[in-house]
């Protein structure tokens, strides 16, 4: 699989130098003080936040710093959900029942079947298919026993042999009490993540760095947890090492497919942040208050989340509990990939791995109205309150309609995002601004030349490169100013924010600094509309 020539393997015991030897960043002597931001008032900053603020590379660091045993320990700690549930006796029982049921079937048949499939389809070997080989980024999931679970392109049971090789690589290195992290061959990176009973592999020809690919694989793993929960996953493999997990995952492949495409086009994932739907602060407050008032009496309601166009309108939480952006991204992925939520109210079990990887929450999912396509999720730990929540939702919608909030949401949803040109910054083209203290980010609409999918992809790729350089574990940077063929880019991280800016290629440093000053002033002026600055609770 891995070509021998020029292949270098990085393992945890190796020096940890990543393959990108070209990463000598062109940090310049830009004088940051020139940019007029008074410290302490970063746009969008707030003392309160409903999101867990994280460094986007926490996964990677955790991955590096922990041995296998360590990680398994961490993953099986106490359950947040049963803490919330008032009846502590009941919850372990229901969970145990879930597990018994799920593990009580006989998987021999399916196992045999999948083997047959594997053999029958050797004639249609994807490894001989040019289109398949040319895909930019493959993602594979297999069990520690080498059983195929998921492949991004082509059916996984045609890849039994390749996955066997992957499993062999992992276990060979494991035998020496080590972990394989990545293999670099030419322009291709092979990245391995071993989590619990699963092996996740990314084979990428993109410019994404190893930590970024690890992050994506961790998202895939979390997506699987979100469907099955940690305890169920561990349990099935404890009972049968060569279990065929596809049996339990049927129907959720599309969630992984969608997640991978989502990560390729959304900066939210590598920024580890969430984008808000721009709304007048008075409107947003009215919406939030409506939800708070309607739901305040409902016991065990943990989160109320209102999403539109994948952006957050509001999030109300139970006191003491915050939501991790990674969990919110999984929720966004679920909503965005499930058209069927539009036709009926749903009662959906979901495990939020960062919140509690061992238990399920129940989510009442519905769109506000035919004429207002914002999706409301009410998440609870109580599986019997569908009708209470359904009723609450009706009331919320009635009130929002009376107070013209639905209109306000529609107006904002239908309006194209403001572009940098409209803000009046002539030499700037695009920007990503992340406020660290609230884990929220803002970006304007795309303007020429970034109007085709290809160009947008390329631009996001550039941002990812910059992001990697700022956060490179071996050599983190504060400021990058880089003149490329088609644009000039600047990346800047402070204690309060991260900023990634795209300029015209020939801009001078002085002009760049001046326009960043203007941009930050504009964001500051608009911050109440662009960000959620409070953190409401029930």
Partner 1 sequence: MITVEGKVVLLGSQGVGKTSMINRYVNKSFNNNVNPTIGAAFFTCTINLDNAKVKFQVWDTAGQERFKSMAPMYYRNANAAFLVFDITEYNTFTSVKSWVTELKRNVEGTMVLILVGNKLDLADMRKVDSEECRKYAESIGASYYEISVLHDEGVEQVFLAASFGLLKLSTGEKDIVTTLKIYDFNNSEIKNSDVPLSEEVLVNMNIAHGIKEKPYLCC
Residue whose C-alpha is closest to residue 145's, from 89, 196, 210, 79: 196
- Nearer Cβ to partner 1, position 29 or 104? 104
- Nearer Cβ to partner 1, position 63 or 244? 244
What letter does residue 125 receive in the DSSP assignment?
Answer: -
What letter does residue 278 receive in the DSSP assignment?
Answer: P
As measured in angstroms, the least distance from the Cβ of 162 to partner 1 is 27
What is the pairing mode between strands 440-442 and 274-275? parallel
As measured in angstroms, the least distance from the Cβ of 99 to partner 1 is 9
Establish if 240 lies at the interface with partner 1 (CB under 8 A): no
Establish if 248 lies at the interface with partner 1 (CB under 8 A): yes
Stretch that binds partner 1, among 5-13, 58-66, 211-219, 227-235 (CB under 8 A): 227-235
Single residue of 344, 411, 451, 486 touching partner 1 by CB under 8 A? 344
Q: Which residues in 83-113 are b (16+ Cβ under 10 Å) and which e?
A: ebbeeeeebeeebeebbeeebeeebeeebee
Stretch that binds partner 1, among 38-46, 225-233, 272-280, 514-522 (CB under 8 A): 225-233
Establish if 384 lies at the interface with partner 1 (CB under 8 A): yes
Establish if 383 lies at the interface with partner 1 (CB under 8 A): yes
Site for partner 1 in 347-376 (CB under 8 A): 347-350, 362-363
Stretch that binds partner 1, among 200-208, 267-275, 315-323, 331-339 (CB under 8 A): 331-339
H or E element: which one contains 502? strand 497-503
Stretch that binds partner 1, among 63-71, 97-105, 132-140, 496-504 (CB under 8 A): 97-105
Stretch that binds partner 1, among 120-128, 242-250, 292-300, 510-518 (CB under 8 A): 242-250
Q: Tell me how far apart the alpha carbons of residues 421 and 27 are, in angstroms, rounded to a whole number.
A: 27
Establish if 334 lies at the interface with partner 1 (CB under 8 A): yes
Site for partner 1 in 251-270 (CB under 8 A): 251-252, 254
Stretch that binds partner 1, among 151-159, 181-189, 318-326, 338-346 (CB under 8 A): 338-346
- Nearer Cβ to partner 1, position 245 or 516? 245
Distances (CA, A) of 7 to 2, 4, 64, 140, 275: 7, 5, 21, 20, 39
Sequence-distant (6+) residues with CB within 8 A of 237 are 143, 144, 196, 197, 243
Sequence-distant (6+) residues with CB within 8 A of 62 are 71, 74
Q: Distance of alpha carbon 189 from its chain centroid, rounded?
A: 21
What letter does residue 138 receive in the DSSP assignment?
Answer: E
Give the SS3 label for residue 197. coil
Single residue of 74, 90, 105, 424 touching partner 1 by CB under 8 A? 105
Locate 372 and state its tokens. 């207002």
As measured in angstroms, the least distance from the Cβ of 109 to partner 1 is 10
Residue whose C-alpha is closest to residue 139's, from 113, 160, 163: 163
Q: Distance of alpha carbon 176 from its chain centroid, rounded?
A: 33
- Nearer Cβ to partner 1, position 132 or 386? 386
Locate 177 and state its tokens. 């009490």
Question: Which residues, in sequence order, are bridge partners of residue 9?
Answer: 183
CB 324 within 8 Å of CB 54: yes
Sequence-distant (6+) residues with CB within 8 A of 21 are none
- Nearer Cβ to partner 1, position 346 or 483? 346
φ, ψ dihedrals at 367, nearest 5°: -85, 150
- Nearer Cβ to partner 1, position 51 or 95? 95
Q: Is the peptide bond before 449 cis (omega within 30 degrees of 0)?
A: yes
As measured in angstroms, the least distance from the Cβ of 142 to partner 1 is 19
Single residue of 238, 391, 411, 422 touching partner 1 by CB under 8 A? 391
Stretch that binds partner 1, among 1-9, 75-83, 224-232, 279-287 (CB under 8 A): 224-232
Establish if 28 lies at the interface with partner 1 (CB under 8 A): no
CB 496 within 8 Å of CB 437: yes
- Nearer Cβ to partner 1, position 15 or 343? 343
Establish if 101 lies at the interface with partner 1 (CB under 8 A): yes
Stretch that binds partner 1, among 274-282, 339-347, 372-380, 441-449 (CB under 8 A): 339-347
Locate 104 and state its tokens. 């009580």
As measured in angstroms, the least distance from the Cβ of 52 to partner 1 is 25
Q: Tell me how far apart the alpha carbons of residues 148 and 167 are, in angstroms, rounded to a whole number.
A: 10
- Nearer Cβ to partner 1, position 105 or 172? 105
Single residue of 24, 119, 343, 414 touching partner 1 by CB under 8 A? 343
Question: Which residues, in sequence order, are bridge partners of residue 107?
Answer: none
Establish if 386 lies at the interface with partner 1 (CB under 8 A): yes
As measured in angstroms, the least distance from the Cβ of 302 to partner 1 is 17
Q: How many residues bind partner 1 (CB under 8 A)?
A: 36
As measured in angstroms, the least distance from the Cβ of 391 to partner 1 is 6
- Nearer Cβ to partner 1, position 301 or 334? 334
As measured in angstroms, the least distance from the Cβ of 401 to partner 1 is 15
Q: Tell me how far apart the alpha carbons of residues 482 and 487 are, in angstroms, rounded to a whole number.
A: 9
Sequence-distant (6+) residues with CB within 8 A of 74 are 62, 66
Q: Tell me how far apart the alpha carbons of residues 435 and 444 are, in angstroms, rounded to a whole number.
A: 15
- Nearer Cβ to partner 1, position 66 or 239? 239
Locate 205 and state its tokens. 């020809």
Ramachandran area for residue 121 (φ above 0: left; ψ -120 to 50: alpha; else beta): alpha
Establish if 346 lies at the interface with partner 1 (CB under 8 A): yes
Establish if 247 lies at the interface with partner 1 (CB under 8 A): yes
Summarize as ranges the residues that interact with partner 1 (CB under 8 A): 97-98, 101-102, 105, 227-228, 232, 247-248, 250-252, 254, 334, 337-340, 343-350, 362-363, 383-384, 386-387, 390-391, 394
């Amino acid at each position: 699989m891995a070509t021998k020539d020029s292949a270098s393997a990085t393992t945890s015991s190796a020096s940890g130098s990543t393959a990108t030897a070209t990463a000598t960043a062109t940090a310049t002597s830009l004088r940051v003080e020139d940019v007029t931001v008074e410290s302490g008032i970063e746009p969008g900053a707030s003392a309160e936040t409903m999101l867990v603020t994280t460094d986007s590379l926490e996964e990677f660091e955790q991955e590096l710093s922990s041995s296998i045993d360590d990680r398994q320990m961490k993953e099986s700690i106490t359950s947040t959900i049963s803490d919330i549930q008032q009846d502590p006796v009941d919850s372990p029982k229901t969970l145990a029942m879930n597990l018994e049921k799920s593990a009580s079937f006989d998987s021999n048949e399916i196992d045999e079947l999948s083997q047959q499939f594997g053999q029958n389809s050797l004639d249609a070997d994807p490894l001989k298919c040019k289109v398949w080989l040319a895909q930019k980024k493959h993602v594979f999931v297999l069990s520690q026993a080498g059983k195929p679970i998921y492949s991004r392109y082509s059916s996984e049971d045609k890849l039994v042999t390749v996955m066997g090789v992957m499993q062999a690589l992992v276990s060979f290195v494991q035998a020496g009490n080590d972990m394989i992290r990545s293999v670099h061959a030419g322009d291709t990176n092979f990245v391995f993540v071993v989590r619990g009973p699963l092996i996740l592999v990314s084979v990428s020809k993109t410019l994404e760095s190893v930590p970024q690919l690890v992050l994506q694989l961790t998202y895939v793993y979390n997506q699987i947890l979100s469907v099955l929960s940690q305890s169920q996953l561990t349990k099935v493999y404890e009972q049968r090492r060569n279990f065929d997990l596809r049996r339990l995952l049927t129907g959720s492949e599309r969630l992984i497919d969608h997640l991978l495409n989502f990560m390729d086009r959304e900066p939210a994932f590598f920024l580890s942040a969430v984008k808000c739907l721009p709304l007048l602060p008075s409107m947003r407050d009215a919406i939030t208050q409506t939800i708070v008032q309607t739901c305040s009496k409902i016991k065990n309601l943990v989160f109320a989340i209102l999403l539109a166009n994948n952006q957050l309108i509001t999030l109300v939480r139970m006191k003491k509990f915050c939501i991790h952006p990674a969990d919110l991204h999984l929720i966004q992925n679920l909503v965005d990939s499930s058209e069927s939520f539009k036709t009926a109210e749903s009662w959906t079990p979901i495990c939020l791995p960062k919140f509690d990887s061992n238990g399920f929450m129940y989510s009442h999912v519905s769109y506000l109205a035919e004429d207002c396509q914002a999706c409301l999720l009410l998440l609870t730990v109580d599986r019997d309150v569908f009708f209470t929540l359904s009723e609450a939702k009706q009331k919320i919608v009635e009130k929002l309609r009376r107070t013209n909030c639905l209109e306000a949401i529609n107006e904002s949803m239908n309006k194209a995002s403001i572009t940098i040109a409209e803000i009046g910054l002539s030499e700037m083209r695009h920007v990503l601004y992340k406020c660290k203290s609230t884990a929220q980010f803002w970006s304007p609409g795309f303007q020429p030349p970034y109007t085709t999918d290809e160009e947008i992809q390329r631009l996001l790729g550039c941002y990812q490169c910059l992001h990697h350089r700022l956060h490179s574990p071996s050599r983190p940077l504060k400021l990058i100013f880089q003149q490329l063929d088609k644009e000039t880019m600047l990346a800047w991280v402070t204690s309060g924010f991260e900023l990634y800016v795209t300029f015209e290629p020939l801009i001078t440093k002085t002009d760049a600094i001046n326009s960043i000053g203007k941009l930050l002033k504009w964001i500051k002026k608009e911050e109440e509309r662009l960000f959620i600055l409070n953190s409401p609770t029930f």
